[in-house]
Amino acid sequence: MQLNKITLEKQIDKATEYLDERKNIKAVKILNKIISKDPSNVEACLLLGIANRRIGNLKKAIECFKTTTKLNGSKEEAWGLLTITYVDQGDLDLAKRTIEKAGQLNPSNTKLQFLRNTLIQTYIKHGPFF
């Protein structure tokens, strides 16, 4: 069942506000509710991945980012966050394969092509910036 569009927008806005305030657990609760009613909501999946990443639940974050890339294969943020989360888990090979796949699936997406060429090295050198 699809959420009422206005209600959905309000819930996404509230979750985003919680993320901005670093109230990640509160954001997780709202986003899980949205996704339980609308599992194809790309924005909620991405935000839930971000919230889970921030609270250290990397496995759930990865699930969310994977879901986001399946729902929208050109979502740069999801590909980038999925890649660096693999780096954080110590799986550099999977990180490289992930960002390579993103670039291959989106050959005309200049942002993804840039990330494909620079993300992992920049993240390793300069640390977290998400």
Work out the angle at residue 69's Cα, subtended by the Cα atoms of residues 108 and 121, and round it to the nearest 5 degrees.
70
Half-sphere exposure of 116 (CA within 13 A, CB side): 17
Residues spanned by the domain of 75: 5-126
pLDDT in tens, 67-108: 999 999 999 999 999 999 999 999 999 999 999 999 999 999
Per the structure, the count of domains in the chain is 1
Inter-residue contact 12 to 34 (CB < 8 Å): yes
CA distance 57 to 120: 20
Residues 6+ apart with CB under 8 A from 71: 40, 42, 45
Q: What is the mean pLDDT of residues 1-12?
A: 80
The percent of residues in the chain predicted with pLDDT above 90, rounded, is 85
**Range with lowest mean pLDDT among 25-29, 101-105, 120-124:** 120-124
Q: Tell me the mean pLDDT in the region 37-65.
A: 97
Evaluate if residue 112 carries a pLDDT over 70. yes
> Each residue of 36-51: b (16+ CB within 10 Å) or e?
eeeeebebbbbbbbbb
Q: Which domain CATH number covers 14? A: 1.25.40.10
Residue 5: pLDDT above 90? no
In this predicted structure, what is the pLDDT of residue 4?
84
